[in-house]
Amino acid sequence: MSSSDTLQPRLDRLQRNALVCGVIGVTLVAVLGMRDTQQFFRSYLFAFIYWISIPWGCMGILMLHHLTGGRWGLPIRRILEAGTRTIGVMAILFVPLLFGMTKLYLWANAAVVQADPVLQDKRWWLNPTGFVVRYVIYFGIWLLIVGLLNKWSREQDATGNPELADRMSALSAPGVVVWAFAVSGAAIDWVMSLEPHWYSTIYGLLFIVIGALAAFSFTLFVLRMLSDYPPVKDSVASSHYNDLGNILLAFVMLWAYLSFDQLLITWAGNLKQEIPWYVQRAFGGWAPVGVALVVFHFFVPFLLLLQRGVKRRLRTLSIVAAWIVILTVVDVYWIVVPSWDKTAPHVHLTDIFALLGVGGLWVAAFTWQLKKLPLLPLHDPRFEGVLLHEPGD
């Protein structure tokens, strides 16, 4: 029995269950949205931002792997590629938000803009037409990069042409820069402009790191599921997991650094147009959420990932990764939702159903893509001699 014969039923079942969950979740959030249209768009935006952070991160990490050529990319490359190929589904899932601009963004209401000098000054960027045009540009950039990288990866499997590795590396150099600008622009358009009087110069970079952390954690969780089946089972050793654990630790530290850096710069500047963003999140009803993020999203995984034994055992490493995936939901919630629930968190049923609905559809699309290619890349010259079992220490 081949690995595909063994793994295929499990992936089929996961895809089917995720699709059912997604359809039910989207249906329920749509039904609830008929009673409160504004809350529907708010919940949908929160869910969308969380789930798109994973394919965002997959794109960045995949290009980082092509640039460095490190062996750490061997066990996770196909997972990353499957994640990137879901960006087309996310482009479709974004469409409902185009119809909710006036419900979400102050700058989309002409009467509000006329009465607000700040919004008038920003009208050259924050306007409905520009919002739609940039949506097309962002997804166009991501789809182009994803399409080329995956096309060449499939050709490499089929032909073994050594030049394809150089071609993917050559694209990734400018690609990662263009990708970063597109993610930054999307974060500013879709999230920061919810509070158009506030701004941060590192806001886009923060969302890049959030995406990388979420994607890498999700990838390690999926890798644990695949590690029971060949060829992953027979080809990936504990030293690979140790490398992946070190990278996850680096992303955790980078997330903490940027989050604190943004707070420090804003607090030191003490400008009246910047301080309120943190005041409503760091005090009052939102304060416990912020404290929980500091403790459970940074200190707990940081201390665990310092342990070599945790990083060299995929089972324990995947538990830490799953924990980070869950806490990233809280992180995105803490960033996005106070834009309208300013005093304290109020979790609505639409928040839960939107998260499950969009997530179910995304996981179904991801699983479908994961089944399309072998679990490990074939004929990549960078992995010659690596596809051998290395006994753990």
Report yes or no on 29 lying in a domain: yes
d(CA 353, CA 29) in angstroms, rounded, equals 6
Cβ-contact 244, 279 below 8 angstroms? no
For residue 2, pLDDT over 50 is answered with no
Number of domains in the chain: 1
Quote the tokens at residue 80.
Answer: 């990353």
The token pair that represents 237 in the structure block: 């050793």
Residue 371's pLDDT is 94
pLDDT digits (tens, 9 = 90+) for 65-75: 999 988 888 89
Q: Which of 36-40, 87-91, 342-346 is the least confident region?
A: 342-346
Domain, as residue range, for 48: 12-370
Short-list 72, 75, 19, 58, CA closest to 150: 58
What is residue 372's predicted lDDT score, i.e. its pLDDT?
A: 93
In a domain, 2, yes or no: no
Q: Note whether residue 358 is domain-resident.
A: yes
In a domain, 105, yes or no: yes
Q: Provide the 3-class DSSP secondary structure of residue 21.
A: helix
CA distances from 190 to 128, 187, 330, 336, 344 (A): 12, 5, 18, 10, 22
DSSP state of 391: -
Q: How far apart are CA 106 and CA 104, in angstroms?
A: 7
Hey, CA dihedral for 94, 98, 102, 107, is it positive or negative? positive
pLDDT at 386: 55
Q: How far is it, in rounded angstroms, from Cα 176 to Cα 142? A: 10
Residue 116 DSSP SS3? coil
Indicate whether 375 belongs to any domain: no
226, part of any domain: yes
One-character DSSP codes across 327-387:
HHHHHHHHHHGGGT--SS----HHHHHHHHHHHHHHHHHHHHHHTTS-SS-SS-GGGTTTS
pLDDT, residue 103, reads 95
Tell me whether residue 147 is in a domain: yes
Predicted local confidence at residue 264, as pLDDT: 86
> What is residue 385's predicted lDDT score, i.e. its pLDDT?
56
Please say if the pLDDT value at position 1 is more than 80. Answer: no
Strands of the chain, DSSP E: none
User: Residue 197 falls within a domain, yes or no?
Assistant: yes
